[in-house]
Amino acid sequence: MAEFQCEQCGAELASLPVKKLHEKQFCPKLTATEPVAAEIETSNNGDQPTEELGRLTVPIADPDYFVSSLVAAEIQRVLALCEAQPENLALVGPKGSGKTALALQIAAKRQAPCYVANAYTQRSSDEWFGREGVSLEHGTYYVPSLFVEALETEGAVVIINDMALMQNKSIQNGLNDILDYGIRFAWVEALAATLGRPVRVAPRVLIIGTWNEGAAYTGNIMLSANLTDRFPNRIYMDYPPAEVQKSILMRKTGISHDDASRLSDFGARLRGLQDPVEVSMRGLIQAGRKMQLSANIHDALYYTIISGLKPESQEQALAALEGIYTTNEKHLVSTRTNQWEAWADGGEKWTEVSAEVKASWERAVEGWRPPSKAGGN
């Protein structure tokens, strides 16, 4: 005897998640007429900055995300085109150039329910659409993924993040039909029994794919040309210009204009080398946060960016640092001693964080928080 029975069609269902999804998305009685429209819950009481939509989430707008006017105009055009039919948009660029952040900000601007599918967690081409569950009573059953829920939600923004990190090439194939402007549905064998129809992309859905391109990305797979060709809208991203980076660093970490200039200058020097070293915004922001905790610029950059570079790049980075030290810092860094002691004996206190710094952290919270009603994919 099944644990639950669908009130609409009488189907017997093994467990609650299956029942919930079945009724919401897949019950033939409910879906025969029209796809389930998204309902925004209005119980947003302030502690929860996102609006929950089933288990999809509208990301919060990041007041400190900067975008160029050319890119903003292109995004407006893509969103306008998306009113007529689902669209695919590629955000391609070096690590930490703001691809994932921009994808989330597009969803926030559009106030759209959003789901981020991380390409590297998929183990097979079928897994995009669901995973097997096992219960003692009912044996093996198939739980549709949030990716399916998102694709079938009208007006959703579905982010396929880090596409070049897929574990192998065959995993790409699961996406071909969904991404194809002329098809936009996929027959998924394992779902056929519950669904009785293919997975369909709902009207006004925007699918955003992000990936890194280039020889530097060892470990990435080459995306097949027919997959990338399914993204006729493409934005190639680069690091924001120095002035903008300074503003971002000041706004996101609360450091002074001078310190922000020096961090941004460090990034520019390394990126401008003949054999460029990519310095991600992520690393610079983290270094800024440590400077706000009184780290000198050497330690702030060493423990976030420099120590992770290959040896020859480390040398270049240390040389770049020489150029941006204040006299005081240069002296401090070169003359300080580094002593080892049993840690428990040390009288060292934890760094005190001032209320002012804490307040700026509040402000700097990323434009994204995970859904509170987390559900596994």
Ligand X SMILES: Nc1ncnc2c1ncn2[C@@H]1O[C@H](COP(=O)(O)OP(=O)(O)OP(=O)(O)O)[C@@H](O)[C@H]1O
Which chain residues interact with Mg ion by CB under 5 A?
99-100
Q: How far is the CB of 110 from ligand X (least distance, A)?
A: 17
* Minimum CB distance to Mg ion smaller for 119 or for 143: 119
Does position 254 interact with ligand X (CB under 6 A)? The reply is no
290 part of the interface to ligand X, by CB under 6 A? no
Q: Decide whether 100 or 292 has the Cβ nearer to Mg ion.
A: 100
Q: Which is nearer to ligand X, 240 or 371 (CB)?
A: 240
If one asks whether residue 281 binds ligand X (CB under 6 A), the answer comes out as yes
Q: Extract the runs of DSSP E, i.e. beta strands, from the chain.
A: 4-5, 12-13, 51-53, 56-58, 87-92, 114-118, 130-135, 139-144, 157-161, 185-186, 199-200, 206-211, 233-236
Q: Is 97 helix (H, G, I), strand (E, B) or coil?
A: coil
Considering beta carbons, is residue 108 or 195 the nearer one to Mg ion? 108
Residue at 245: amino acid letter: Q
- Does an H or E element contain 125, and which? none
Q: Where are the alpha helices (DSSP H) in 168-237?
A: 170-173, 176-179, 189-195, 225-228
Q: How many whole angstroms separate alpha carbon 257 and alpha carbon 279?
A: 19
Q: Is 248 a binder of ligand X (CB under 6 A)? A: yes
Of positions 74, 282, 333, 357, contacts ligand X by CB under 6 A: 282
The answer to whether 266 and 251 are in contact (CB under 8 A) is: no
95 lies in the site for ligand X, by CB under 6 A: yes
E strands, 22-100, are 51-53, 56-58, 87-92
Nearest approach, Cβ of residue 270 and ligand X (Å): 16
User: Which backbone phi and psi does 139 adopt, to 5 degrees?
Assistant: 70, -145
Q: How far is the CB of 244 from ligand X (least distance, A)?
A: 7
Interface region with ligand X, contact rule CB under 6 A, candidates 95-103, 147-155, 317-325, 332-340: 95-103
**Residue sitting closest to Mg ion (CB):** 100
Which residues lie closer than 8 Å to 275 by C-beta, 6 or more apart?
none
Q: How far apart are CA 188 and CA 143, in angstroms?
A: 12
Burial class of 309 by CB neighbour count within 10 A (0 to 12, 13 to 18, 19+): middle
Site residues for ligand X, 203-242, by CB under 6 A, read 210, 212, 240
Task: State yes or no: residue 24 binds ligand X (CB under 6 A).
Answer: no
The region of 49-57, 139-147, 186-194, 281-289 touching ligand X under the rule CB under 6 A is 281-289
Query: Which stretch in 61-69, 73-81, 221-229, 346-354 sits in contact with ligand X by CB under 6 A?
Result: 61-69
Q: Which is nearer to ligand X, 54 or 209 (CB)?
A: 209
Q: Which residues of this chain interact with ligand X, rule CB under 6 A?
A: 64-66, 93, 95-101, 162, 210, 212, 240, 248, 281-282, 285, 366
